[in-house]
C-alpha cells in the first residue's frame, strides 16, 4: 500500500544509476586527459579542475562501489561550479552535459529529457509559501489523534504502523493510559504518527499549504516526521527507525536515574555554570559519573537541562540563587540529547545503515546545528549525533526565518500534538509568529 505522505507525490525526480568505472573515461572527451584509475584524495588533487569537479560531482553519494544513487539536478552549488568550469572549453554546457550522459549509456530520449532547457522558475512571493514544524516527545497527551482519524490515509497509517510495531498504536493514542503513553518506547511513535495525521488534515483542508511548502523542521523525534514529509525517508522505514531509537534510548535511560528540567532564567542566568554546579554537588555526595548539561535551546533565556535526578533536584531547590524564574520537570524518562544516551548510539546507528534515504524535496533543518541537510549521508550522520547532542531549536528558528527587512514571512503550521513550537516561535520571532497556525 502506497501512503501519500510526501509533500508532492506527483513530482518526478530525474534519477539514474551511476557506474563508477564510467567516470574514468569522461575526461577524455571533455578535456583530453584521463582521470586517474583511483579516486583517492591524493590522485583527485592531481586532476585538472574540470576533471576533478566531474569526479566529485559524479561520486556525490560517497559510495565507492558501483551503482551509487545520484540526483542529477539536486546539487545546485556543485552544478553551478561545474558549469562555470565548463566555460573553459569550446563546447556549451548543454553539449557537455549530453556527452556526460552518453557515457552513462542512457537512451537518447532520456538524454533529451534531462538536457532540455527548462524555463526559469518564477520568483515566488514568500508570503504565499509555508513552513511545517513537527513537535517532539513531551507534547503527547491522551486523545491527541482523535481529531485526525476521519481524514484520508490516517487509518491506513495507523494500521501499517501497528503492524510494524506489534501493538495497537491508535488505541494507545486515543485511550492511553497516560502512564504508558509517556514511556519513551511508546511516546515517540505516537507523536510521529499524530504529526503525520495532522499533515493529512492540512492536506485536506488547505492543500495550498502542502503544495507551497518550502521548508520543514522537527523537534527531536519530530525530525523523522519532517524527513518523511519531505520525501527523504519512507513512512515504513521511519516507523522502524523510531522504534529502534526509542527502545535504545529507553534502555540507556534505565541504566541511571535521569530526567529533564525546563528552565527560564533572568538575563544574568549562566546555564553552563548551573549544570557544572549541579554535577559537582552530585559528585560530592557520592554519585559517580554524575552529569548535567543543556539538552535543548528553546528561546532566549529558556533551556532544557538534563542529567541525574539529584542534579535536577539541586537546581530546583536553588532556582532563586541561579537566577531562574521558572523550573518544570518534563514528562520524559531520561536525559535525552546528552552523553547519557551514548549507549543508544551503536544500535541506532546500525539500524540507520539498513535504510535508504533520498534527497529531501524541500529544505529540512537539522537539530544539531540548525542548518539545512545537504544530502542523505549528512542526514544519517546527524540523526545519530542527535541522540547525544543538544537540540538547537532557537538557532533553527533563526535560520528558517532570517530575511532582509521588508521581505514577508511564510505561513507556519505546527502539525502534531500541543502548541509548544508556536509558543517558542513567538518568543524567537514575533513577526514570523503572526503567520502561525496550529493544525
Q: Look up 10 and say whether it is catalytic.
A: no
Residue 85, SS3 per DSSP: helix
Exactly one of 51, 162, 189, 220 is catalytic; which is it?
220
**Of the candidates 261, 267, 242, which has an alpha carbon nearest to the alpha carbon of residue 314?**
261
Contacts 24+ apart (CB under 8 A), 375-381: 375/60, 375/61, 375/75, 376/61, 376/69, 376/232, 377/61, 377/62, 379/227, 379/232, 379/233, 380/352, 380/353
d(CA 125, CA 266): 39
Cα Rg, the chain, nearest whole Å: 24
Using CA atoms, how far residue 370 sits from 242, 332, 365, 377, 384, in Å, is 21, 23, 6, 17, 15
Q: Look up 337 and say whether it is catalytic.
A: yes
At 327, list the grid cell.
523550573
- How many other CB atoms sit within 10 Å of the CB of residue 23? 20
**Of the candidates 86, 63, 82, 64, which has an alpha carbon nearest to the alpha carbon of residue 72?**
82
Contacts 24+ apart (CB under 8 A), 402-406: 403/126
Q: Which residues sit opposite 28 in a β-bridge? A: none
Residue 15 neighbours by CB under 8 Å, 6+ apart: 69, 70, 71, 72
Output the DSSP codes for 117-153: --PPPPPPPGGG-EEEEE--TT---TTTTGGGTTSTT
135 near 195, Cβ under 8 Å? yes
At 258, list the grid cell.
535521569
Exactly one of 189, 234, 333, 337 is catalytic; which is it?
337
How many secondary structure helices (H) and strands (E) does the chain include?
20, 12
d(CA 112, CA 178): 58
102: left (phi over 0), alpha (psi -120 to 50) or beta: alpha
139 near 420, Cβ under 8 Å? yes
Residues with a known catalytic role: 220, 337
Amino acid at each position: 500500500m502506497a501512503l501519500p505522505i510526501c509533500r508532492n507525490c506527483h513530482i518526478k525526480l530525474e534519477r539514474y544509476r551511476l557506474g563508477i568505472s564510467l567516470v574514468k573515461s569522461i575526461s577524455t572527451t571533455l578535456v583530453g586527459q584521463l582521470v586517474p584509475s583511483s579516486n583517492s584524495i591524493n590522485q583527485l588533487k592531481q586532476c585538472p579542475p574540470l576533471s576533478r569537479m566531474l569526479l566529485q560531482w559524479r561520486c556525490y553519494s560517497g559510495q565507492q562501489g558501483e551503482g551509487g544513487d545520484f540526483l542529477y539536478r539536486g546539487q545546485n552549488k556543485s552544478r553551478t561550479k561545474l558549469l562555470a568550469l565548463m566555460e573553459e572549453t569550446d563546447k556549451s554546457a548543454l553539449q557537455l552535459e549530453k556527452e556526460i550522459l552518453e557515457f552513462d549509456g542512457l537512451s537518447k530520449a532520456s538524454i533529451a529529457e534531462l538536457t532540455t532547457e527548462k524555463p526559469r522558475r518564477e520568483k515566488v512571493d514568500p508570503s504565499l509559501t509555508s513552513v511545517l514544524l513537527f513537535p517532539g516527545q513531551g507534547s503527547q497527551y491522551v486523545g491527541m489523534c482523535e481529531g485526525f482519524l476521519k481524514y484520508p490515509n490516517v487509518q491506513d497509517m495507523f494500521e501499517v504502523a501497528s503492524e510494524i510495531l506489534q501493538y495497537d498504536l491508535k488505541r494507545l493514542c486515543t485511550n492511553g493510559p497516560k502512564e504508558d503513553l509517556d514511556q519513551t518506547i511508546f511516546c515517540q511513535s505516537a507523536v510521529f504518527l499524530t504529526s503525520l495525521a495532522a499533515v493529512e488534515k492540512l492536506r485536506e483542508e488547505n492543500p495550498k499549504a502542502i503544495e507551497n511548502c518550502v521548508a520543514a523542521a522537527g523537534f527531536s523525534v519530530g525530525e523523522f516526521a519532517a524527513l518523511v514529509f519531505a520525501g527523504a525517508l519512507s513512512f515504513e522505514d521511519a516507523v522502524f527507525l523510531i522504534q529502534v531509537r526509542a527502545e535504545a534510548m529507553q534502555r540507556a535511560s534505565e541504566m541511571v536515574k535521569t530526567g529533564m528540567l525546563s528552565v527560564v532564567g533572568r538575563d544574568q542566568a549562566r546555564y553552563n555554570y548551573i549544570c557544572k554546579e549541579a554535577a559537582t554537588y552530585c559528585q560530592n555526595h557520592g554519585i559517580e559519573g554524575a552529569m548535567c548539561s543543556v539538552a535543548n535551546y528553546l528561546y532566549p533565556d529558556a533551556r532544557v537541562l538534563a542529567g541525574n535526578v539529584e542534579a535536577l533536584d539541586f537546581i530546583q531547590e536553588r532556582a532563586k540563587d541561579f537566577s531562574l524564574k521558572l523550573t518544570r520537570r518534563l514528562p520524559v524518562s531520561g536525559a535525552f540529547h546528552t552523553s547519557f544516551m551514548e549507549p543508544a548510539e551503536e544500535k541506532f546507528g546500525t539500524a540507520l545503515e539498513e535504510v535508504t534515504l533520498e534527497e529531501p524535496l524541500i529544505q529540512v533543518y537539522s537539530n544539531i546545528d540548525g542548518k539545512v541537510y545537504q544530502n542523505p549521508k549528512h542526514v544519517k550522520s546527524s540523526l545519530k549525533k542527535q541522540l547525544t547532542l543538544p537540540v538547537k531549536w532557537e538557532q533553527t528558528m533563526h535560520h528558517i526565518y532570517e530575511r532582509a527587512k521588508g521581505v514577508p514571512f511564510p505561513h507556519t503550521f505546527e502539525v502534531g500534538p500541543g502548541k509548544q513550537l508556536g509558543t517558542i516561535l513567538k518568543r524567537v520571532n514575533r513577526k514570523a509568529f503572526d503567520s502561525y497556525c496550529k493544525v
